[in-house]
Every structure is written in structure tokens, then in C-alpha cells.
A = this chain, B = another copy of it.
Amino acid sequence: MDSPAADDYLKTVYTHTEWQDAPITPSQLAAKLGIAPSSVTEMVKKLAAAGLVSHVPYGAVRLTDAGTARALAMVRRHRLIETWLVREFDYAWDEVHDEAEVLEHTISDRLLEGIDARLGRPRFDPHGDAIPDAAGHVAREAFVLLADAPAGHRGRVLRVDDRDPELLRALETAGVGVGRELRVTDTAVLLDGTDAALPDGADEVIWLTA
């Protein structure tokens, strides 16, 4: 059970629980992968048979240790490739996702290692997502979703979800990027003391330090 498709499932299950708690359901998996729910049932059955996920009928999907290891390897590939495209080929942070999505399945371990070495073994990608090291270890920091941050909260932007390029560009324009300090009031989000005028939906894709 090793194929690009299987790797995509594992990676998607992993990233789902990276910034929230609830395990992923089959329909959520289908939506994120852009495929029919019935296809998910089928693939999940195979992954479960291979010991990569655990799944009881009509229940959620969880990674086993073996599945987590495989997922971490894919996440590492994806994020290293994104970092590399931004640093060495001047891709903007909203342009790297699709290319990385393909290359993560096709680059050899050797080339990946070469890229990692050349980049100086970075621990975070351009969106602030942690890059697992070759052994699968991940840097972690306490976080809160901007939408959940209470009035008065101050925090550094830890991470911006990379799935909506348009939103990413809007944030760029607004001056919001990984590392920037934000302050939450009950009516607005402040950047350098003034209203950041965030685009719609921004509070659902920005994570701050807790």
C-alpha cells in the first residue's frame, strides 16, 4: 500500500489534526482531497488493512504509528520543497502549493536530502508550518487560532494556512506575514497599533502564539 494516492490520504489525515483536535471524518477527507466519499471508504479500508490508519465502520480515521511516520515523511517533503521554491526560485508563498503537491511524490530521498542541506535544514516553511526532521521530529509551540483569540490577546503570527492563494495574497497586501505581532481587541485586529483591516475569513487561517 504505497502509492502517491495513499501518501496523499495519510498526509491529509495528519495535517487535519495538526492545528486542531478532532480526528478527521471520511467526508472531511473526501472534501479535502476533492474526491467522492465512496472513494475514501475504499482507500481507507486498504490503508487500515496495511496498518497505516485505524478505522471502525462509520467512525473517524486516525493514523497509526506507522501511518504517522509515513505522513510525517510526506509533510517534510512538501514543506521542504515549498521552502526551496520560495528561497531559490522566487516563488511567492501563495504559488508554491501546487508545485510542491506534485514534486513531493516524485523527488528521490537523495535529492530531498540535497535540498535540505542546501537550505541549511530549515525547521519552518514560508507559511510558518513546522518541517519535521529526517527522523520525524517536529518543532512545536503553543498556539491559538485568531478567530478563537480573546480580546486583549497579543501574539506573533505562527502560521498562515496555505490552501487559499487569494487570501494569502490579500494578507500579503495587508502586511500580515509569519513573525508579525498582532493584537486582538473586541472590535479589530491591530498591526503596529493600527487596524490591520484583515480580509474576510482571515481569522480562520491565522494562528498566533498562545
By beta carbon, the residue of chain B nearest A113 is B89
Nearest-neighbour CB distance to chain B for A19, whole angstroms, equals: 28
- Please, how many angstroms separate the alpha-carbon atoms of A138 and B28 in the complex? 50
By beta carbon, the residue of chain B nearest A115 is B89
By beta carbon, the residue of chain B nearest A95 is B110
Interface size class of A (residues with CB under 8 A): 10 to 19
Q: Which secondary structure characterizes the binding site on chain A? A: helix
Nearest-neighbour CB distance to chain B for A182, whole angstroms, equals: 32
B107 touches A103 (CB 8 A): yes
Interface string of A86-113 (1 = CB under 8 A from B): 0011100000001100110111101100
Nearest-neighbour CB distance to chain B for A26, whole angstroms, equals: 29
The reply to whether the CB of A85 lies closer than 8 angstroms to some CB of chain B is yes
By beta carbon, the residue of chain B nearest A85 is B111
Nearest-neighbour CB distance to chain B for A15, whole angstroms, equals: 21
Nearest-neighbour CB distance to chain B for A6, whole angstroms, equals: 17
Q: Which residues of A contact B (CB under 8 A)?
A: 85, 88-90, 98-99, 102-103, 105-108, 110-111, 114, 118
**Could you list 10 examples of A-B contacts with CB < 8 Å?**
A85-B111, A88-B118, A89-B111, A89-B114, A99-B108, A99-B110, A99-B111, A102-B106, A102-B108, A103-B103
